[in-house]
Amino acid sequence: MAHRKRAGGHRKPTRTVRRPSLTGTVRLTDAGGEVACAEGTLRLASRSLREVMGGDVVAVSVQRGREGGKRAVVESVVERAHAAVVGTFSPVGPLGCVRPLDTRVRADFFVLPSDGSPARLSVGTGDVVRARIVSYPSRHESGVVTIERRLGDADAPDLGIRSVMARYDLDDAYPEQALRAAEGLVLDVDGALADPLRRDVRDRFALTIDPVDARDFDDALSISRTAEGGFALSVHIADVSHYVAWGDDIDLEARRRTTSVYLADRVLPMLPERLSNDLCSLRPGEDRLAMTVEMTFDARGRLQGAVPYPSVMRSRVRLSYDEAQALLDGGAGVAEDAVARAAEEGVDLCEVLRLADELARLRAQVRSRRGAIDFDTVEVHALMGSDGEPRDLVARHRTAATALVEEAMLVANECVASWLVRRDLEAVYRVHEPPTPEHLQAAAAALVELGIIDRGRALAIAAGEIPAMRAALADVAGTPEAELVNALLLRAMQRAVYRPQNLGHYALGAAAYCHFTSPIRRYPDLMVHRVLKLALARERLGAQEARRRAGALVGAGATGFGALAAQLCRTCSERERAADAAARASQKVMVARYYAHRIGERFTATVSWVDAMGAFARIDETQAEGLIRLRDLGDEWFDLDERTLALVGSATGRRIRPGDRVVVEVRATDQLRGHLDLALVAAPRALH
């Protein structure tokens, strides 16, 4: 084809300059990446994956893909989420190479020849290291790191957990200064009762109900029937703020951590053990300082009134959830010591549990009527043996025993939040905003394509009608599709966060909500206690006394809570997400270790999800989830049909989708990365 010469001679073609139009946060998966931004969630172009890591804030331009869909191209990184990387070390000529354990990160990092950190730390081939990032990779250059710590070789027994800790910047060492400060703290009941705000409620029968392996007991409850046939419920919460003053050594470290992290084989506490497992733990038979919320309900479970105050209490009985459930079920010979201790005080422990269960059921109905929605998710936990190996995998499900505690804590949190909001106080509120219409429409469309709901209900879900969502969940309860429907609707929800101002809680249907019931393990709860105490002092003791107490509770000026509230809320939200991700990753490590000795064994399972990597299947025996990669699905290639959420065989048209019942074989495990690889043995049609 001839090219026409333009007047004025040849001109260089004009280069199209892409300009960033949106800012968003990166989320990586093994199949690729996406950016959550104002236009929704956009898939990342493959060429952008090399230069980003999960959580990075990026400026992107939006382009049309080959099939017409939008995709995001990273133009610049606005804010980095990670300052370090965990990976395996190997020499590459004069360089050292650190290959990230996180398979979602697509770039290797290099140690320069002039960097003596490998030799100084005695790092050898195959060792797992934590490396500080000196420069980040781009499309044209590799990233550079320097090694900070050798975590161990590939055979270290807890290397998988150590790698999880390093990946999420978690530390099991507590600063010596904070530990010394904690050791100097003492319980002084008489001194505490000298405070005119504090009440003595040790005459009430209180009990704690917790997981069997719990060591810190931060909540207890007392319940009785009122003369009008209603309920009197008191929730007692450990008074951490009595011991930890704003800005002291313990507070600064707790503020840095913001949460305890519950890994599969260990707990990384927010507070020193002197507090979390001793002074603040509501252990049976011991006097403890608490914050109490005293609530009354009518016979239908409707809240009549609530009064918060500092207290001194004593728990009489400690039950595990299993023991409480067995007593509710009428089991004989269960928790005999606890039943006997209660009887010595003239209390029928089984009757106390039945009363709490009755109130819990009524409260669930109250929440349902006002528009709350509950999701039923599967959580697999490893039960650890004394040798540090997982001896069993169990799926934790909601029971009447867990529900009676959960409902008591929910209403206590709500009462405290409402109390603070009525006084227009800045605090740390738990905010859950409504889902976006786009996300609801996508979930509803997928459920229609799967044949789970009709178009009428889909329209109601897309419009944000919670009764329609609850109906969809109820229809599939107990079926193979239940997990999928819960997952699709849950993914449509926004994540709850902490904010200094109240904006309500969508999923709970609550006008105001906060976290108040776990100050041993969550910094937001500790801040709520402090704000509550200060407000109580102002109302009951006067402004002058409140000013005197303010420094220890919320500080003042540029270093006080008022100046730091927004940043503290952001940090607590971010660290909560990291703690949750680390907990899940640690359980995956233990799942891989558990099945490492069962390679080749076959199990029945249910397909729980599909994506571009393959099909995820949940094994019936343990509820552990593994991945059937595309290559292990059969003798043909499978393509992902995102519209119908199915993997479709290119030769036969055979479809594999969530809810399908299958037989799988354990193909391989990667204990370091927490991967369980399965192979498909019997396809869905072969089982029917």
- List the CATH number of the domain containing 30: 2.40.50.140
pLDDT of residue 212: 83
3-state secondary structure of 643: coil
pLDDT of residue 202: 97
Phi, psi of 28 (to 5 degrees): -105, 145
When pLDDT is averaged across residues 321-333 and rounded to a whole number, the result is 92
Average pLDDT, the chain: 91
Q: What is the C-alpha separation between 219 and 356, in angstroms, rounded?
A: 15
User: Is residue 592, in this structure, part of any structural domain at all?
Assistant: no
| Strand spans (E) along 332-483 | 379-384, 390-396, 429-431
pLDDT in tens, 132-167: 999 999 888 899 999 999 988 877 788 889 888 888
Choose between 171 and 556: higher pLDDT. Answer: 556
User: Is residue 570, in this structure, part of any structural domain at all?
Assistant: yes
When pLDDT is averaged across residues 640-650 and rounded to a whole number, the result is 90
User: Is residue 377, in this structure, part of any structural domain at all?
Assistant: yes
pLDDT in tens, 600-629: 999 999 999 998 889 999 999 999 999 999
CATH of the domain at 145: 2.40.50.700
User: Is residue 45, in this structure, part of any structural domain at all?
Assistant: yes
For residues 211 and 354, membership in a common domain is answered with yes
User: Is residue 167, in this structure, part of any structural domain at all?
Assistant: no
Give how many domains the chain has, as a whole number: 5
Residue 329 has pLDDT above 90, yes or no: yes
pLDDT of residue 242: 98
For residues 369 and 416, membership in a common domain is answered with yes
Residue 112 has pLDDT above 70, yes or no: yes
Query: Of the residues 103, 126, 156, which one is the last residue of a structural domain?
Result: 156
DSSP string across 239-287: -GGGT--TTSHHHHHHHHH-B-EE-SS-EE-SS-HHIIIIITS--TTSE
For residues 658 and 681, membership in a common domain is answered with yes
pLDDT in tens, 399-429: 999 999 999 999 999 999 999 999 999 999 9
For residues 542 and 616, membership in a common domain is answered with no
User: Is residue 152, in this structure, part of any structural domain at all?
Assistant: yes
Choose between 334 and 260: higher pLDDT. Answer: 260
Residue 551 has pLDDT above 80, yes or no: yes
pLDDT of residue 38: 72
For residues 137 and 205, membership in a common domain is answered with no
Choose between 461 and 157: higher pLDDT. Answer: 461
Domain of 335, in residue numbers: 176-430+505-584
Amino acid occupying residue 382: A
* 417 contacts 502 by C-beta, under 8 angstroms: yes
pLDDT of residue 685: 57
User: Is residue 9, in this structure, part of any structural domain at all?
Assistant: no
Nearest to 528 by CA among 568, 556, 557: 568
When pLDDT is averaged across residues 447-455 and rounded to a whole number, the result is 91
For residues 239 and 326, membership in a common domain is answered with yes
For residues 422 and 438, membership in a common domain is answered with no
Residue 17 has pLDDT above 50, yes or no: no
pLDDT of residue 5: 37
pLDDT in tens, 153-210: 877 788 889 888 888 888 888 999 999 999 999 999 999 999 999 999 999 999 999 9
For residues 120 and 208, membership in a common domain is answered with no
For residues 367 and 220, membership in a common domain is answered with yes
Query: Of the residues 63, 79, 95, which one is the last residue of a structural domain?
Result: 79
Residue 687 has pLDDT above 90, yes or no: no
User: Is residue 668, in this structure, part of any structural domain at all?
Assistant: yes
Q: What is the C-alpha separation between 576 and 363, in angstroms, rounded?
A: 27
Reported confidence tier of residue 65, pLDDT bands at 50, 70, 90: low
Tokens describing residue 356: 């709490």
Reported confidence tier of residue 47, pLDDT bands at 50, 70, 90: confident
For residues 190 and 278, membership in a common domain is answered with yes
The pTM of this model reads 0.86
Query: Of the residues 530, 556, 584, which one is the last residue of a structural domain?
Result: 584
For residues 204 and 306, membership in a common domain is answered with yes
Tokens describing residue 390: 């997982």
For residues 475 and 337, membership in a common domain is answered with no
